[in-house]
Structure 1
Amino acid sequence: MSSSIKNALGIEAIVPTQLDLSIVVPIYNEAESISTLIEAIAKAAAATQLNYEIVCVDDGSRDGSTQILSDLARQRRDLKAVILRRNYGQTPAMAAGFECAAGKTIVTLDGDLQNDPADIPLLLAKLAEGYDLVSGWRQQRHDKALTRLLPSKIANWLIGKVTGVKIHDYGCSLKAYRGELLADMNLYGELHRFLPALAYIEGARITEIPVRHHPRRFGRSKYGLGRTIRVVMDLLTVFFMKKFLTRPMHVFGLWGLISLVAGVAMGLYLTIVKLVFQQNIGDRPLLILAVLLVITGIQLFSFGLVTELLMRTYHESQKRPIYRIRDVIKH
């Protein structure tokens, strides 16, 4: 979208207009659904009467999706095709889409037609109520019970318990974000499913609304039980970021101090036993435990100090503040 103005010489120039909405869709081997998906997204976006763009990120597809996207992007003014060099995974694909998106509001959804683009206006309406992130909730899911539904329910419960962000469906890709919120977040690993938790760390206001979910029409699912271990590892990462991102010494230093004190106390006890009561302590397991606790305490305390320095470098090198201001109100 663009508008024209006259510059100082009286020559008409084309000036890009700020986009209201970017719809980011990661694509991986979805050749059969791409055309239908883009038409459905365009129809839903046009109904909002906002200036919009569709950003499709091809994540190293091998079924012809890349060529289809490239051809459609040359034909449509509302479509931007971002082609990655190889298959990196859904999180990097979404990060690339966020980087290339120009909208003040960003909506994400999957490229398999299971999310319904017709729900986009509902997400935007909820976002307009003052929220920073609106997550879709697939109340009626059309997935396999054993390999998809059960692991998803367990993961949602576990993530909610660990992060403190109580939403029903972390795995739903259909979400709406304020652009400035995503600008404050960096994605690594498999962290795209933890975006609500990461947003919560940034102080975002989060809610969810029920959305539709359709059976898969083409191809096969890219998700399975094999992702469970990666989810658990990333969950531990998010938990640490939530609790100790700006104060890692509080966790490593605390446990290091406890271990060190316990080891020294045991060592003093054994010293008294040896010197005062003239008893042999060389064959006592308590001696080995005392030495181990002292060494572990020193290591944890040192690790906490190094991590504290790394966190300071992380924040200061990026000029990344340790707080977020929501608003400044003046008379």
Structure 2
Amino acid sequence: MISIIVPVYNSGKTLKNLCMEIIEVMGIMQQNYEIILVNDASRDNSCHVIKKLASNHMHIIGIHLAKNVGQQNALLCGIRYSTGDYVITIDDDLQYTPFDIPKLLHKIHQGYDVVYGIPIQKEHNVYRNIGTRFKHNVFNHFLKKPEHICITSFRILSKRLVDKIIMDNNSFVYLSAATFKNTQNVANVKVHHYKRAYGQSNYSIPKLFKLMFNILIYYSDWVLFKPLKKHKHQYHIKEIIIN
């Protein structure tokens, strides 16, 4: 069984195409699978689209969160609900394609705990690329990430790693930080990356610095940061839709 987790926020225009591509790929691979769409309190018609998809397809599960908690917390919610031997995470914007899923699966069968798909050619702007390099440096120095490994949102995780990650009770969640706290048995595989078809990224340099600071607070081993940790619920589930 393969579980594909999609954190959803204002992506009503892309969800159907994304799910149809996943279904096509799983059919070609003849894999048993589930698609878990976690709606992070979207403001567009994503809720309606998810309900329709889940009603029409037995492999699709919809989870609606009561309020917006961010992509990482939504991912953790979906991962906790998953039942697969492997868990794949993919964004809702179609910049990564499900047709590269076989590459991830082939690589993780070589014995890795997690495999990240890294773009053959990135379709991000220059500021996003600079920010990505900065993030990698933080992970290298503070979270013991192997320097040759690149991290992305398109990845596959083994069940043994998932069982450790779902124990994360931090109010601030970052999946890759939790990953490197538990394993360095990680690999990369080249995948395609496309320009965003709809909407705009909410990425910014100030948000990046805030993100990195929170990662240090919640995932580094520095005792100095422990008093700064806040305690709050990771998410609240409003509704689960199953065919």
- Give the TM-score band, short-chain normalised: 0.7 to 0.9
1:326 matched to which residue of 2? none
Structure 2 counterpart SS, 1:30: coil
Flag the 1:163–1:139 CA change in 2: closer, same or farther, 3 A: farther
2:2 matched to which residue of 1? 21
Q: Please say if 1:209 is aligned against 2:186.
A: no
| Stretches (4+) displaced over 4 A | none
2:203 matched to which residue of 1? 223
Whose helix fraction is larger, Structure 1's or Structure 2's? 1
Greater C-alpha Rg: 1
What is the rounded CA distance, in whole Å, between the counterparts of 1:21 and 1:187 in structure 2?
A: 24
Flag the 1:210–1:133 CA change in 2: closer, same or farther, 3 A: same
2:31 matched to which residue of 1? 50
Conserved 8 A contact 1:131-1:204:
no
CA shift, 1:227, in A, is: 1.7
What is the letter of the counterpart of residue 58 of structure 2? R
1:13 matched to which residue of 2? none
Corresponding residue to 1:175 among 151, 155, 170:
155
What is the rounded CA distance, in whole Å, between the counterparts of 2:139 and 2:215 in structure 1?
A: 7
CA shift, 1:234, in A, is: 2.8
Structure 2 counterpart SS, 1:184: helix
Deviation readout 1:173-210 (Å, 9 max, x if unpaired) = 11000123112121645543x52x43333245211111
Conserved 8 A contact 1:159-1:235:
no
What is the letter of the counterpart of residue 34 of structure 1? L
Conserved 8 A contact 1:138-1:169:
no
Corresponding residue to 2:122 among 133, 141, 152:
141
Aligned CA RMSD, in angstroms, stands at: 2.1
What is the rounded CA distance, in whole Å, between the counterparts of 1:226 and 1:37 in structure 2?
A: 30
1:258 matched to which residue of 2? none
What is the rounded CA distance, in whole Å, between the counterparts of 2:106 and 2:27 in structure 1?
A: 14
What is the letter of the counterpart of residue 96 of structure 1? C
Structure 2 counterpart SS, 1:229: helix
What is the rounded CA distance, in whole Å, between the counterparts of 2:5 and 2:169 in structure 1?
A: 15
CA shift, 1:220, in A, is: 1.1
Q: Please say if 1:130 is aligned against 2:111.
A: yes
CA shift, 1:124, in A, is: 0.5
Deviation readout 1:229-271 (Å, 9 max, x if unpaired) = 322223323221xxx7xxxxxx67xxxxxxxxxxxxxxxxxxx
1:106 matched to which residue of 2? 87
Flag the 1:53–1:113 CA change in 2: closer, same or farther, 3 A: same
1:59 matched to which residue of 2? 40
5 Å matches for 1:241-256? none
Flag the 1:113–1:64 CA change in 2: closer, same or farther, 3 A: same
2:235 matched to which residue of 1? none
CA shift, 1:110, in A, is: 0.3
1:264 matched to which residue of 2? none
Flag the 1:31–1:153 CA change in 2: closer, same or farther, 3 A: same
Structure 1 counterpart SS, 2:200: coil
CA shift, 1:138, in A, is: 1.9
1:97 matched to which residue of 2? 78
What is the rounded CA distance, in whole Å, between the counterparts of 1:187 and 1:118 in structure 2?
A: 33
2:236 matched to which residue of 1? none
What is the rounded CA distance, in whole Å, between the counterparts of 2:170 and 2:56 in structure 1?
A: 33
What is the letter of the counterpart of residue 110 of structure 1? D
What is the rounded CA distance, in whole Å, between the counterparts of 1:143 and 1:39 in structure 2?
A: 25
What is the letter of the counterpart of residue 102 of structure 1? T
What is the letter of the counterpart of residue 161 of structure 2? L
1:70 matched to which residue of 2? 51
1:270 matched to which residue of 2? none
Unaligned runs of 5+ in 2: 228-243
Conserved 8 A contact 1:53-1:79:
yes
What is the rounded CA distance, in whole Å, between the counterparts of 1:63 and 1:226 in structure 2?
A: 26
What is the rounded CA distance, in whole Å, between the counterparts of 1:187 and 1:155 in structure 2?
A: 23
Whose strand fraction is larger, Structure 1's or Structure 2's? 2
Q: Please say if 1:184 is aligned against 2:164.
A: yes
2:239 matched to which residue of 1? none
CA shift, 1:123, in A, is: 0.3
